[in-house]
Structure 1
Amino acid sequence: MDLRYEFYINATREDVWHALISTEGTKALLFGSVLKSDFNVGDSYAYVGPGNEGEDTVHVYGTILAYEPNVQLSLLEHPGPSYRENHEELQSRITFMLETVGQCTKLTLINDQWTENHPSRESTEKSWWMILSNLKTYVETGKTLDFGW
């Protein structure tokens, strides 16, 4: 089953995009992780930050499927090696799409093409709500939500 989320953010597409890919944005939104990539279609990427293996834990990694600044980012995703022994076999596709609606940005996130019986699917379904709510708050106010973690 595909996961689909739509959020309306009181900001420009450029501001939302910056939060999604910049070092300061990803660090604020994704628990201190940085998105490492050259952002060319077909290139690899990794979200790297504090975790199970120290400061340079790979949380997720994969391949850039689409990259159109301020419009779309699509990623083939695998869980990091410290999370699942069979991480290379597990995958899904994550696509962020941005469009202008009035003075706002509509962010659509689709997380689909899951490997059958992917063990992270259920937890991912819940965590996207938190991450996207945090993104909306961060872009609109410059502050992040405190989930008590």
Structure 2
Amino acid sequence: MNLKYEFYINAEPEAVWHALVSPEGTRNIFYGCVLESSFKVGEPFAYIGPGNDGDQTVHVYGTIVGYEENKMMSCIEHPGPSYYPNHEELQSRMTYTLDKVGQCTKLTLINDEWSDNHPSMKTTESHWWMILSNIKTYVETGKTMDFGV
């Protein structure tokens, strides 16, 4: 399954990028998680925050496979160890791209290359809509949405 989402955000690419990678941005849009990474191709990344294992729960981790600041980030991701005992076998690729369109930014997310029988595939499809909507709202207003979760 390939998931593809396109959002138009009323902001410059740098503002959207800041929301996607900065501790302040990710903490707001990814439910309290911070993205830890050197942002160098071939090196690890992890979204870490409150969860099953306390405040330092690893929710998603993997390897950066493409990176161009303010433009594109691609990574191979795995669910955190507290979610599935076979987390290392479960993976997909996430690619964010930002394109300037007039005075707006087009954010495209493609989530593909899913491992066979990945148990998170179906729930991820609906969760991305919430996360991407939250990114748009946060960048445009400085506030996040309350999904009641």
Equivalence for 1:78: 78
Provide Cα deviations, 1:35-62, integer angstroms capped at 9, x if missing partner: 0011100000000000000000000000
Equivalence for 1:6: 6
Report deviation, 1:117.
1.0
AA at the equivalent of 1:6: E
AA at the equivalent of 2:38: D
Answering whether residue 61 of structure 2 is matched by residue 66 of structure 1, we say no
Structure 1 portions without partners, runs of 5+: none
Give the distance between the partners of 1:77 and 1:125, measured in 2 at CA: 15
CA RMSD of aligned residues (A): 0.4
Give the distance between the partners of 1:140 and 1:92, measured in 2 at CA: 29
Answering whether residue 107 of structure 2 is matched by residue 93 of structure 1, we say no
With normalisation by structure 2, the TM-score equals: 0.99
Give the distance between the partners of 1:62 and 1:148, measured in 2 at CA: 28
AA at the equivalent of 1:69: E
Q: Which runs of 4+ in 1 moved over 4 A?
A: none
Provide Cα deviations, 1:109-141, integer angstroms capped at 9, x if missing partner: 000000011100000000000000000000000
Report deviation, 1:87.
0.1
Give the distance between the partners of 2:30 and 2:84, measured in 1 at CA: 19
AA at the equivalent of 1:46: A
Percent of aligned pairs with the same amino acid = 67
AA at the equivalent of 1:90: L
AA at the equivalent of 1:54: G
